Chains A and B, each alone.
Chain A
Amino acid sequence: MMKNSRLIAVLLLLCLLSPLAAQGQAESGQQKEIELRWASIWVGNDSKAPAVEALVKEFNTKNAGKIKVVIEPQPDYNAYEQKVRTSLAAGQAPADIFTIKFNPTTATFYQSDLLMDFQGKLDDAWKSTFDAGSLEQSTVDGMLKSLPMETAILPIWYNMDALKSVGVNTIPATVQQMYDTFDKLKAAGIAPTSQMTGDTNAWTSMIWFSHFAVSLGGPNVWDKPFTDPAFVEAAKLIKKMIQEYSTADAVGLGAGGSGGHFLAGRTAVFSNGPWYAGRADLAATPFFDSIKIGGLPAVGEYEGIMISRLQANICAASSKDAAKEQAIVSFLKFLTSPSSIAKIAETSGAMFAIKTDYRPVNNLQKQFYDVNAAASTTAFDLEAALGSEVTLEFAQQLGALALDRISAEEFCALVDRKIEH
């Protein structure tokens, strides 16, 4: 009886192990397919999603049996950023391929050995496809642990239907014209601008502030202490915008509310990046065709500077497996090739750090390219230049500034406290 039980147990064990052994033989007989996990934010409703999906499909078909890229959808960007942070802190790469918003805070990721350094992988041909300035901005202490992919300019959006309704037919060219326009809009019952102090970065107002600051202090203004007169003056201007030329709910308002006011036609002037141009609800507005993209009139001595940022840098996990690292490089070369980038740009209207011949035909998208080309130079926005902690302090204290709880000087001193000098 005992013998029979043992025999049955051994037979059962053999039955369980035999498929594994067979699979092992099959795998050793052919080259193992390398699977790359890409934690992608360009999924779901994102304007880049269809093109990215098609490109991954194309790459997988071309490399069938050798490399397979699997998209892990990350539709919630805040949750995704948390995932990247916590994974790296826990000593794990969030995926084989992932993206970060490159700024002084996320530059800390470069200290991690988990990230692949592209410095040795970037051959001359590949390197020449990238915008040299963006590559330089993405290099920290000689390391290039993220490749600049999506860039953005952050201009001002004008609803020309609203402006024309008060007799203004062109984008204001001088500060006086800007105030005159805003006063006319106000008199007509339209809140001139969509300001906000909510969220962790007071997004749209942060863009306005950045425009003011670089115009007053030049493209290198972010290298100065935040108590510099350029920032104090910019603080006074943004306060005026919130107090006199925005909606009553600007203090505490989030980016959704700020954008919502513009989409609903409650405000006439807005600020955001090119990705907003691909929104379906924007296309559905009656004033969509009248939107004009431009800068702000120079409030200081520096003219024609456009605010820009590295919107998404692509990172890869380092691996001891040379074949896997090679597979990652192959995919990234494909993804960042001018032809792939042109496809993504075509459907999304987004801008990239990779040089292509693509020129948009869509009027709104085209304006972004034109404005970028017309800029004398570009400068980072506050968040891109000083990081998330400084931007959070900016957002928190902006409410107090707008409510006259603190002066512009005090506001700047409070923000300056958060900058690591």
Chain B
Amino acid sequence: MQAVGIRNRWIWSARILFLLPVALLFFFFFIYPFFFTVFTSFTSWRGIGAMKFNGIKNYTKLITDPTFQKALRNNIVWALSQGLIQVPLACLVAMILVRKPFGWRGLRTIYYLPNVISTVALAMVWVAIYNVDGPLNAILSGLFGMEKHNWLGNPDTALFAVIFQTVIYIGYFMIVLLASAMNIPRSLYEAAEIDGASTLVQEINITLPMLRGTLITTMTLAMAYGMRHFEATFLMTGGGPAYATTTMGIDLYLKMDALRYSEASTSGVFLIIMGTLVITLLRKLFGSSDPMSEMAQ
């Protein structure tokens, strides 16, 4: 009995010992910064000098700030476009590629290729494409006689232009969905074929329901990415013109740039709240078929 007790103690000690490095890293790089951010969001602090508690002043200032309101609206547009355009596009391509048409391996690589290219390089390429004298205007003018347009310099088109260049990079989600689609038993399609179901009917009634769990996961990931989007927009427009393309991430960065650390923390807390809200909402909407919730049960 005593031997079993000593053994259990050893096992627990070993478990704690193995978990300790990760737990420490998690504490120092996530838990501590998180609570520090929340704490500083209730203060007036410029990164240097003493912090002064100022209650919810930063929050009221943030919510009434027209720039932040634009950023919030843009983030919602980003999240929706990533979740509702990019993922369905990725799904469509995965559904085509899973049927292994001619050259599908090559196409799979081509679709995935942008994901291995640096965001900076891609952003610079797109800036050149969207330039007034760039190839996009040349094509549109050549084909349709359209006037040259400053795509990134016009507040009406800048957000669309920035979103478009990321939405078409469907490779990552396409690969995830393709892998999932390849695991659907062939027998289901064979049975449907015997019953006379067309390809479209098969896709709607077999592939999509079987992919539902993966679709929700990819949609959650895509929308979470949309909520925290920063790099490409910052590189292409810096959030301009007139904050037309700014996001909460850019707003946070620029506040830090101006040494408004406590206000940046408030933006950060808001960003965390919004991200959590989006994920919770998605899981509530599709909870019954979410593989993550199944695992949790």
Contacts and interface: CB of A to CB of B under 8 A. Distances in A.
Contacts of B131: 249
Nearest to A109: B48
B193 interface: no
A396 B242 CA distance: 4
A55 to B, nearest CB: 30
A366 B69 CA distance: 50
A396 B158 CA distance: 13
Contact of A252 (B158, B257, B258): B158
Interface string A383-421: 000011100100111111001011000000000000000
B154 A403 contact: yes
B154 A108 contact: no
Contacts, number: 92
A250 B259 CA distance: 29
A411 B256 CA distance: 24
A248 interface: yes
A52 B237 CA distance: 35
Nearest to B50: A111
B238 A198 contact: yes
Interface string B148-191: 10101111001000000000000000000000000000000000
A251 interface: yes
A414 B132 CA distance: 28
A112 interface: yes
Given A387-B258, A388-B258, A111 B48 contact: yes
B133 interface: yes
B178 to A, nearest CB: 37
A251 B239 contact: no
A200 interface: yes
A24 to B, nearest CB: 32
B238 A108 contact: no
Nearest to A388: B258
Contacts of B254: 200, 392
B238 A200 contact: yes
B42 interface: no
Contacts of A88: 47-48
Contacts of B133: 248-249
A405 B260 CA distance: 28
A83 interface: no
**Which label, helix, strand, loop or mixed, suits the secondary structure of the B interface?**
loop
B47 A108 contact: yes
Contacts of A271: none
Interface in A241-259: 247-254
Given A251-B153, A403-B154, A405-B155, A198 B132 contact: no
A385 B2 CA distance: 77
A89 B43 CA distance: 15
Contacts of B46: 108, 111
Interface in B5-54: 46-49
Nearest to B246: A396
A85 interface: yes
A105 interface: yes
A197 interface: yes
A216 B49 CA distance: 38
B241 A251 contact: yes
Given A249-B131, A252-B153, A199 B238 contact: yes
Given A108-B48, A252-B241, A400-B155, A389 B148 contact: no
Given A111-B49, A389-B260, A405 B132 contact: no
Contact of B148 (A109, A248, A395, A397): A248
Contacts of A392: 254, 257-258
B68 interface: no
A267 B209 CA distance: 59
A396 B241 CA distance: 5
A89 B260 CA distance: 11
Interface of B: 46-49, 131-133, 148, 150, 152-155, 158, 237-243, 254, 256-261
12 contacts: A88-B48, A89-B48, A198-B241, A247-B132, A249-B131, A249-B133, A252-B152, A392-B254, A392-B257, A396-B240, A400-B242, A403-B241
